[in-house]
Amino acid sequence: MTVTTQQLYKVLAEKFGFTRFRPGQLEALTALSEGRDTLAVLPTGAGKTLIYECYGYAVQRPVVIVSPLLSLMQDQVRALNLRGETAVTAVTSLMSFTEKRVVLQHLNRYRFIFSSPEMLTQPAFLTALKACQVGLLVVDEAHCISTWGPDFRPEYLLLGRIRNALGRPLTLMATATATPQVKRDILKKMQLPTAAQIGLSVDRPNIYLKVVKTATEQDKQTQLVSLVKGLKTPGIVYFSSRKTADEVCEVLRQSGVPRVAAYHGGLSADSRYKVQQQFMNDELTVICATNAFGMGIDKANIRFVIHYHLPVDLENYWQEIGRAGRDGQQSIAILLYTPGDERLPEYLGQANIVAEADIAAFFARPRPVADDDPLRLVAFYRQHHLNQEQVIALFASRRQQRRQALATLLTYVNTSNCRRRVVQAYFGEPTSSLSQNCCDQDSPETTVENLHLTAPPTSVLPGDILPWRATLDQLFLGKS
Amino acid sequence: MNKALLLQLLSDDQPRRIRVIENLLVGKRTVSTLYWGLRYDLLAWFGFEKHLARRDVANALNQLVADGSATVTNLVAQLTPTGAIQKHQLAKVTYQPVALSSWLTVARPEAWQGLQLAVQVVSEFQAANRQYYPLQVAFETRQTVKRWFLAQRRPTLAKQVRGELGQFLSAIPEPVADLWASLLVGHQTPGKTVEQLFEMTHRSALELTVIQDDIMTQLVLVTQAAPTSFPVLHELLQAWQVSPISPSAAQTLANYRAGATLSTIVEHRRLKPSTVHEHLLEAAIFLSVQQFPYAKLLPNDLQRAFAQRLTGSIDDWAFDQVSDLKIEFWQFRLYEIMRSKLSDDGDDSTTL
């Protein structure tokens, strides 16, 4: 189905209230309108979701979005709800039997259908989808095909076949970060070698890059407190462990950072919702989060992202710091590093990689395995006709890749040259001219003051508990 | 689980099995768990902490033992005099649930989620705002709230909900009502999290959860008992008034009351005889003596024989004492249940 540029602008104005597309959006939409499958690599905050939403409205056919995380899907559904779009659903493992039955029976009523690769392998869902004449298949966070597929979410590797089973609908693969190798891998696994490629630089020139090295864990905590107290908010501090997120959150609170809260998968859905809303409303100014927080958070004025732990690779790091400065204003990303910090990501990166002896034992005596068993991956590959040697080779190469990825991140940490150049080289981008406030290696004299990121002197205390009458008046009568 | 909860659930005059307490909190519906829940007077806590891990129970118990508050032998624990004093003191300074005996008649998590969503929807409706992030609740709960809202939608709805909630909260002690209301979500009001209230009030997460559950139960009971005073909330909350008896056990009891014999029930419903017996025991545990057909299931002469042989504390009775009477174990257990209920001063069974 051909869509004209005028139609796209009409949708942009009517549905989104904009008159201009952001860089990369129209290029991707034009490629899709010409019927070309498209790989769009656009930096975080560039508006990737608008591309498929706009296309869906223009062609008036359902859009199926494959998304890696339940929380991300929920955020995306809510973001569409927020704009008044109700014909949207997320078909996930969280659905009750009744809900799933009702939704699948009426699948053609939905304009946007979110789901996971695992769910898409279920025949009932696939059959229901086939009947709705999908207008566009979107693989969101498409880098997961390459980075998660082999050792974590093998169903990602089946997306090419699933696409065929759906009758090869027009496909958009979208991601914020992809090295040349990852791009090649995505296109190969999706069986779309000739897809159009739209790419913008992954660089975020308004984010100043800094690494703070500390000798001990205690020093790190002290540094964190002083950084958070000195920086303009809102900001996010990322952790790799829920427990540390909770503990450091408490340390920050005790140190006089009043409007801080922890956010991780261990909180109830209710608390996660409230913390997120309070942060969006600027009632909370600092969030101590695990990576459960962020994908889908669209808050434009985040001024700092601090990493307390090392992420597993530079892609993840770049994705997470990309949440800062979406409004284009000066922001800062700080990575705290204590010698030995690499042990945690090393462990996390290797966690799903199965040892050679275990693979051999499984092939010698295959057995059913539980969903959370690391051998599930071996069983998956065996089921898809890989032999023992191939599986062993695959995991060996994966182990090597993970090590390499961590080594690259450590290069970023330890480099004595420009940090941005390390990132650009990693993502295979030409080195662009660098801004004056690039990183602590290029301009070590740059201070928080120079960046205009100093915390304002006053800080408001968190709200008290109101008398219940006042709370009810506020809720129902709009009295504040 | 923290040690305060375990302290609350243990006793100084009755040794209690730790696995029973764990299974109760997790909500494992077996007759054995329910029976001992009845004996320990802890049935209300059934399903209170569904995701409880065994190691948390062990940690809490170890702490109590280390403090000298409890002793434990073969996973049977009892409070020491020190522990009993601590329990008593804790009860004086923390919120004590007033609707505990009715907790199981309300689907508390669903009711709370539903009420929160309804308050949010009405608040945003009043503010004429259609673009907001709705709270994420289970599909069935969302559908219930949706149907209610479509039926109740009118310009005065916010005022009515405000009025009814106000009427209810006026009868609740002020500080507790303030806390509970601060959890609610609405237009430009994200509500506080339990973690934040813990920071602000130094009441433990356990106490806050108990408050949340207890107030929710009271709200459901009050609105269901007086529909004319709470017409709007009555309509909303009725969906979450439930029976603590599982549907299958309720069906067995209904069939039996309607005249079916146990063997016909076994045959018609294709159940094992032991399942039918378990159904009856489950129903007996939750119902008052008057509500259950004891006389028909335990004929007078059998009750007399039991009474002669089974004396002393019910917890010490053993099936061996009566096994020669050509009876089955379930009948012995049923008698234990009946006597447990009769020996209480009041009837502690859940109000249905």
B184 vs A84, A281, A471: nearest CB: A471
Domain tally, chain B: 3
The torsion angles phi and psi of B186, rounded to 5 degrees, stand at: -165, -160
Provide the shortest C-alpha distance from residue A236 to chain B (in Å).
18
Residues B118 and B233 in one domain: yes
Residues B118 and B229 in one domain: yes
Lowest mean pLDDT among A319-323, B206-210, B269-273, B342-346: B342-346
Please report which residue ranges of A136-203 form alpha helices under DSSP H: 143-147, 159-165, 180-189
The string of pLDDT tens digits covering residues A253-274 is 999 888 899 999 888 888 988 9
At residue A191 the predicted structure's pLDDT band, cuts being 50, 70 and 90, is very high
- Say whether B181 and A468 touch across the interface (CB within 8 A): yes
B221, B240, B259 - which closes a domain? B240
Average pLDDT over residues B101-119: 96
Provide the shortest C-alpha distance from residue B122 to chain A (in Å).
7
Residue B185 touches chain A, beta carbons under 8 Å: yes
Total CB pairs under 8 A between chain A and B: 115
* Beta strand B76-79 pairing with B16-17: antiparallel
B188, B206, B240 - which closes a domain? B240
Chain A residue numbers with beta carbons less than 8 Å from the beta carbon of B208 are none
| Signed CA dihedral, B77, B244, B138, B120: sign only | negative
CB atoms within 10 A of CB B46: 21
Residue in chain A closest to B172 (alpha carbons) equals A468
Residues B53 and B152 in one domain: no
The answer to whether residue B312 sits within a structural domain is yes
Residue B24 belongs to domain with CATH number: 1.10.10
Q: CA gyration radius for chain A?
A: 23
ipTM, two decimals, is: 0.89
B192, B207, B240 - which closes a domain? B240
Residues B176 and B86 in one domain: no
Residue A261 touches chain B, beta carbons under 8 Å: yes
B149 to A98, A156, B125, B233: CA distances (angstroms): 21, 41, 10, 11
Mutation to test the B interface, candidates A270, A276, A473, most B Cβ within 10 Å: A270
The string of pLDDT tens digits covering residues A100-148 is 999 999 999 999 999 999 899 999 999 999 999 999 999 998 988 887 6
Cβ distance A135 to A63 under 8 Å?
A: yes
Per-residue confidence (pLDDT) for residue A148, from 0 to 100: 67
The string of pLDDT tens digits covering residues A307-326 is 999 998 898 899 899 889 98
Q: Helices B54-67 and B81-93 meet at what angle, rounded to 10?
A: 110
The answer to whether residue B349 sits within a structural domain is no
Provide the shortest C-alpha distance from residue B77 to chain A (in Å).
30
Tell whether the model's pLDDT for residue A282 goes beyond 90. Answer: no
Residues B116 and B215 in one domain: yes
The answer to whether residue B27 sits within a structural domain is yes
Residues B226 and B195 in one domain: yes
The answer to whether residue B296 sits within a structural domain is yes
The answer to whether residue B74 sits within a structural domain is yes
The string of pLDDT tens digits covering residues A67-82 is 988 778 887 888 888 7
B99 to B45, B95, B103, B212, B311: CA distances (angstroms): 12, 12, 6, 12, 33
Tell whether the model's pLDDT for residue A86 goes beyond 70. Answer: yes
Residue A262 touches chain B, beta carbons under 8 Å: yes
Average pLDDT, chain A: 88
A228 to A271, A286, B308: CA distances (angstroms): 23, 8, 75
Cα–Cα distance between A138 and A47 in angstroms, integer? Answer: 14
Residues B232 and B263 in one domain: no
Residue ranges and CATH numbers for the domains of chain A are: 5-199 (3.40.50.300), 201-351+415-480 (3.40.50.300), 352-406 (no CATH)
Residues B214 and B138 in one domain: yes
Domain residues for the domain of B258 are 247-343
If one compares A154 and A238, the residue with the highest pLDDT of the two is A238
Residue type, B60: A
Cα–Cα distance between B118 and B110 in angstroms, integer? Answer: 12
Residues B71 and B36 in one domain: yes
A212: its two tokens: 């703070």
The string of pLDDT tens digits covering residues A420-463 is 999 999 988 887 767 778 999 888 888 888 888 887 765 455 56
Lowest mean pLDDT among B294-303, B317-326, B341-350: B341-350
Residue A251 touches chain B, beta carbons under 8 Å: no
Residues B70 and B134 in one domain: no
Per-residue confidence (pLDDT) for residue A309, from 0 to 100: 94
If one compares A162 and A76, the residue with the highest pLDDT of the two is A162
Q: State the pTM of this model.
A: 0.82
Alpha-carbon dihedral of residues B287, B290, B292, B296, nearest 10 degrees?
160
- Say whether B131 and A82 touch across the interface (CB within 8 A): yes
Provide the shortest C-alpha distance from residue B194 to chain A (in Å).
7
Cα–Cα distance between A20 and B259 in angstroms, integer? Answer: 76
Per-residue confidence (pLDDT) for residue A444, from 0 to 100: 83
Cβ distance A476 to B161 under 8 Å?
A: yes
Residues B252 and B275 in one domain: yes
A273 vs B135, B174, B194: nearest CB: B135
Tell whether the model's pLDDT for residue A296 goes beyond 60. Answer: no
Mutation to test the A interface, candidates B139, B167, B197, B211, most A Cβ within 10 Å: B139
Residues B14 and B135 in one domain: no
